[in-house]
Each structure stands twice: as structure tokens, then as C-alpha cells.
Structure 1
Amino acid sequence: MGDGRKILAAPKKQLIFAQGDSADAVFYIQTGKVRLTVVSKVGKEVTIAIVNERNFFGQGALAGQVLRMGSAAAMTDCELLRVDKKAMMNAVHGEHAFSDMFVAYLLARNIRYEEDLVDPLFNSSEKRLARVLLLLAHFGKEGIPQTVVPEMSQETLADFRTKRNADSSRSQMV
């Protein structure tokens, strides 16, 4: 493909980049899903995002981030477009239509992060659950609600329970 862009195939569960790696590129998911995680100094891993196709990840490289703050791994078989930092900056500065689209994407994502931070402060657990379910279903995306049933294995649910995210004795999320 050239010009600092490369198509990559990432099979399910393959690590795309690790926390602490050089932040030298931005990725665009053409097909598949990617999980973004962060590991604390004490070894606790937290999923910070699940990124679907037609979305970017690794944008910290454009904001002066020298090392990756988290890791990215393929949740499904993925086809990714890897764009070197320099090529991405050239596209942002030289292609106005792309620049407008990319800035709008970043702002929309930032608004979503703000909503995620404010939600637990002001809403009841029922409202938070309803919001999460609507987000999972992509409610209202492009005017057409889509039904999405997340795939959860018994292992994932057990892991969720062990990390104290669910209290089975009270049948509720914490």
C-alpha cells in the first residue's frame, strides 16, 4: 500500500500492540473488533474500550504520546489499516475532508467518554444499566436501532465474578 499505510490481518486474540510499546501509528478497523486494555502497576487489567469496525484506535500517537498507555488485541479476526504517525499527520493537514471527518470522530468519542465519566455520578444503577444496554444495541445509530447480543462465555462471566464486578448473592452489578 505504501506511503506509511499498511493493511494488517490480525487473527482473534492476537496482540496488536502492548502497553509500553512505541506509539508510532494509528489504526483503523476495516473488519472485526479490538479490545483496548490497561494494566495497573499491581497487575490489575481493565478493559477500557471495545472498538468496532470503521473506528480508529491508537490516536494517542498523534497527541505526543511516546509510549502506548494500554494494549490492543483482536477480539475477532480483524483487517486493520495501520497508518504511521507521519502519514496520518500529513492526511490531517493536507486532506480537508478527511481532517473534518477525523476531528468530528474524535470529538464524538470525547463526548462519549465524558458521558461515561458523569453517568455513575448522577444516575441510579437502573439508569446506568439502561444506558449501557442501549449503547450495546447501538440504539439510534444512523437512525436505525440494531439488536446486538454480546457474546459472553462462561469463562468471561466467571472472570467478571472473580474480579468482584458482580455480586451473585444479591443478583446485581456493582
Structure 2
Amino acid sequence: MGRPAKPEFDPKAFLAMVGTGKTVLTMKKNQHVFEQGDVADSVFYLQKGQVKLTVVSEQGKEAVVGILEPGQFFGEGCLNGHPLRIATTTTMEESVITSITKEAMIATLRTEPKFSELFMAYLLTRNSRIEEDLIDQLFNSSEKRLARLLLLLAHFGEEGRSQSILLNISQETLAEMIGTTRSRVSAFMNKFRKLGLISYNGKIEVHNSLLNAVLREKPEIERDDSTSKD
């Protein structure tokens, strides 16, 4: 009799299970996964919850640079030789996170093509998002940056209808993410609501009209150099 066939490798099942070099962490809200300056020796995969990425400048100014959602990796800089963490990661709600040592991550990438494909797809998507964010910061007003951020947080377009942002994200966090002040975010949010672009019902609901306003550059969301300097 021949040897039994090797079970097909399932990357997501692999990431969900404890194993050699892997630990599954259940973390409460507002816990640090790692902090800026910590030794970088593991990669993390978010199974459930939300994680906020923040950086602090030499002058002590803190900025939110991203919000991670299930299915995303983070801390992968250790694979590129970064000895220390360049950001702080904090859970925004109860989260389930897989920690994979650098050695186990490299070994799996080398031996499991499907896992390599999953990780590569993540890297390509992340790099595209970074490029889009850079263009957004360079060429768009803070009002338009907020509109784009709301659309991204709501995963707009996946269902083809109005989407709800399930995360109870504060205006302070939104302001940090687009590089403006909380008062300006508050003014923009009120404007969007009055125009029917978003609505509040315990959470933010984004409507098709917001996407149309951004794509068509309607007067309600347009660049205004006299007011966009923050």
C-alpha cells in the first residue's frame, strides 16, 4: 500500500492553530501587542478584532498610521532585518492574534507555496494602500481625505450598498489618521451628515452618495486651498 496522501495545506487553518513557533493570543481592549522600540522577532496575524498602529516622533507627537482588521499581518518588518519595532500596536477591542516567530515564518514561507501566496497578496495590497495614502496626503484636502478614510473603513463597494462602520472610532483617531484637528473632523462629519452622505445610528453609516461625491468631485467635497491647510 502506498503512503496516505499528505493533507492539503490550508494557510488560514495554519494561522489559527497553536504549533511550533506559533502562539495564539487572546487580548482585551487597549492592550499593546508590541510597543515602539521593542525587539522585533515575530510576525503577527490578526484573526479577530481591530488593532491600531501608532508612532511617536522624537518631539513626542503621536500619530495613528493605520487600523488593522481580521486577515491582516503586522510586525513583518522583522523579516527585512528591522531589529526594533517602529510603531506601537494596540487592540481597539477584544482580539485574537497569532504570533509567529521569525524563524517559523521564514520556514513556512519557504516550504508552503499557498502560505507564500497569501502573504505576498497581503504585501501587495498593503503597498498599494501606502501609495494611495501618500498621494492622498499630497494632493487632497483634509475633507476629501476624511471621506476616503470613511469609505475604506466601511469596506465600501464590497456589497454594493450603504455600509456601516462597525468600529466605534473616535473623531480624535480620525483626525490623527488624516493629519488634521478634531474640530475640523467634527465640522466635516456634520457637513457630510447634513448633505446625506453619512448617517448616525449608534455607528457611522456611509452612503453611496459619499462615494459618488468623491469620484465626481462634486462641490460638496472638493479641494479648497484656503481651508485645507492644517
Equivalent pairs counted in the alignment come to 169
Q: How large is the RMSD of aligned CA atoms in angstroms?
A: 2.6
Q: Distance in 1 between matches of 2:101 and 2:37?
A: 17
- Give the drift of 1:129: 3.2
Q: Determine if the alignment matches structure 1 residue 171 to structure 2 residue 187.
A: yes
- Structure 2 matches for 1:40-55, cutoff 5 A? 40-55=57-72
* 2:109 aligns with one of 85, 88, 92: 92
Is 1:16 matched with 2:33? yes
Unaligned runs of 5+ in 2: 1-17, 189-227
Scaled by the length of structure 2, the TM-score of the pair is 0.66
1:137 aligns with 2:154: yes
Change (3 A) 1:166 1:91: same
Code of the aligned partner of 1:11: K
> Residues 152-167 of structure 1: matches in 2 within 5 Å?
152=169, 157=172, 165-167=181-183
Deviation at residue 119 of structure 1 after TM alignment:
1.4
* Identity fraction in percent: 44
AA of the residue aligned to 2:187: S
Partner residue of 1:63 out of 80, 99, 105: 80
Question: Max radius of gyration: which structure?
Answer: 2
Looking at structure 2, the residues matched to 159 and 93 of structure 1 have their Cα atoms a distance apart, in angstroms, of: 39
- Provide runs of 4+ in structure 1 moved above 4 Å: 156-161
Distance of 2:174 and 2:127 partners within structure 1: 29
TM-score by length of 1: 0.85
More strand by share: 1
Deviation of the 1:167 alpha carbon:
4.0
Deviations 1:54-107 (Å, cap 9, x if unpaired)? 111111111111000011111101111000001011111110011011111101
Change (3 A) 1:157 1:122: closer
Distance 1:43 1:62 in 2: 27
Is 1:33 equivalent to 2:17 in the alignment? Answer: no
- Return 5+ residue gaps in structure 1 as ranges: none
- Determine if contact 2:33/2:90 at 8 Å carries over to the other structure: yes
Number of the residue aligned with 1:7: 24
Residue range with higher mean Cα deviation, 112-121 or 126-135? 126-135
* Structure with more contact order per residue of length (Cα contacts < 8 Å, sep ≥ 6): 1
